[in-house]
Structure 1
Amino acid sequence: MIFPKGEVVHKNLSTSFTDLSALISTLRLENFSGTIEIDFPDTRGILLIDSGQIVDAEATGDNGSERILGEEAIQYLLRLASQKDGILSIYRLLPEQVILLANNLRCEPLFKALSTNFIHFDQLLTKLKEGKHNGFIEVMTKDHQPIGVLFLEGGEPVEMFTLPKNGPAVFGRMSIQIFIENVKKHGALFNVYGRENKGLSQEPVVVEKKEVLLHQDHESPQVKEEGESVPINLQEEKNLSGNETLKETLSLLEEFLSESERIVDTLTRKGMFLKNFKKALIEKSEQFGFLDPFAGEFDYRDGTIQLREEVESKDLVKGIVEALRVTLSHLEKELPQEKMLPLKLKAGIETFLAHHKGVLTRLKIEPFFASFL
């Protein structure tokens, strides 16, 4: 993958004088999100960091023929960085941009070095749309200089970044159409990468938008300006449209997710749950539009859910449970040696159901949680 270079934090640090482990500890305290690029004469690698935690990594040989990913790559790069003759560079990105990269890191090449001299770019996009393609397209000039990367979900362009000659990479889905038109106009080479199509429903959930938000004390309404989002944060005791059912549901979901996170991270390592859960949110966002991390409507972090649009409680629970199901699937593939993980996770959910049976039944959401078992 062509990786974006974000805002420069440190550049060209020598491994002879830099302790990478200590540097990562500092970045963790700063809640840093971005990348650490590691360059040695015969090896190149990158660590993807979300909110201070290493969520994925890639290491390749000098000619790109050898490639390792995930935990193996993380440990390899940490060992390698303790040697001399290497260079470290650190670039800041947004957390959702890091997760986008991690979610596509395992895509496999489908077509290499296609040229607009022989293939119409818009026709290729149409074909990928018909096939509900998940993956990305690397775009390069005709002399193989990288221009940018276009990401696809269900065949639809969802995000992109371009690589200017100077300065950090530029992300922005609003520029996708202009990017496509420029490729068609000036010509380019491109590589197409894909991952397994999960066969998700292509019908997004329509999220109803409310224009009036009531204060919790019900004294006076707060009129929301057009385009403005007011987050729900239970710790701040904000109540979206006076919806007590949604408030109760959010509280249950926070406990549900935080307990799942505790179980997974205890059996694996800290950050493993959140990494895979965020990947799952992207995959399920086609079916549950409010889960799209790039739309900014839903976020889970540190045991707290923030929701910026009103969603039916049943849809919210169903979406979260489905995302957790995909999360477990990812974990089982990434950590096949952890045979107890699915058993302990399901046991934790059974305990949760038993403890909250009365409330879950009253809110009519118990079947959605139970469907995970």
Structure 2
Amino acid sequence: MLVPPGKPVYENLATSYVLLDALISDLCEGGFSGIVEVVLRGADGHVIINQGKVAGSFDGSGSKQEATTVSDLAARARAERGRISVYGCSIETAEALSGCANAEPLYTRLSTEFADIERMISKLGRERDREWFIEIYAEGAQTGLVHIKDGSLWAFSSRAEGDSQAIVKDLIAECNSAGGIFDVYFRRPLIDASQNSAEEAGITTGEQTLDFAPAEPSTADLHDEADFTKEPAHSQPQNGDESHRNVPISSVSESTSLPETPIELPDLVSLAIKAESIAISPDNGARADRKRDTGDALSMATIKQLLGEIAGAIEKSVRAVEPRDTFAMYLRAGQLKIADRYPFLDPFGAEFEYMTGEIAFVGRATPTEFIDGMTEALRLAMNSITDTSSQPSRLRARVSDDLHNLLESRKDEFEPFGLDHAIEWILR
């Protein structure tokens, strides 16, 4: 768990004479916001408190944290010799920590070598159907957590808490300079940390019980636009500094888009199964539209299958040469780079998914758009894999041979959709 540099309240209290459950009850009664850290022999425990409510309790070491109850953690503290420390933090940081601990992973261990954090933060800010959490681990040993909710951003790092804009810029600069990795998590904003019911707790203080049960994340679609001018709906930090409130994502950077130069694909043959030429009149217009829709649907089914086989052939070739399975990651990176022009391929959306030679697509795109977008994404993935490979010549030769063998064996299926040209373009 990423722990912010909070203000020490108590440090190194011995579990032999401090009762953890009683301490937490007292902190909650005073409206405390912060983290209670329990260091034991086997593993560490953390209890997150937000405005006098237990927002989460977790047991484990490092990033391997599992939800537990305050009563279970208190029982372990009584049975083992350990230390208890209490650190105060802002309400926003407490909410970010508890939300991230109970969020669902979308991508893990993405490398800054092929994924742009700044661009990703900008993109996720427009996906308002979910809360987003980005854990960043820079090579310079700095870590940080970015929380995105309703188009607003809150962040802290292992060095600072409060000025989210400066913290994000510092994390990005360090990742760009020395490299780093990051994880992306999400959840539906259904449970506010301050509303987490204490009814599941194993302890009680007065009439209030204290503990936490993780919410089940939803899988809603992700396509509402963010209103970056909206005032964030978070409370102010405890220090009352107006400048450290959640900031609109658009203020983190003047321009968060990568300078992409559109790549013109070759003049591919027409991709749709064309409807018969008929004059559209009041009597036959609806019938013509139905024919076009049916033709496109038939085309897309075949195109998805064939493009899946092309992607699968590349993936198999890469696995034969490279020690790591990197194709899927580089394909997502390629999709992200062209998401502005082909939004249906956005890897953070819910329309497109690729897995081991098969494509699932539930969005809207013409056959031509789909082939053009996939061809470019595959080309970018191929270039990135080659650039980072220790055997680039062997890798490219293997992919070229396998794709040409696939084309030769299925030419009558590939040529009607111009996929023979698409293969040549991928290999350039």
Report the TM-score, using the length of structure 2 for normalisation: 0.42
> TM-score, normalised on structure 1?
0.48
Structure whose CA Rg is larger? 2
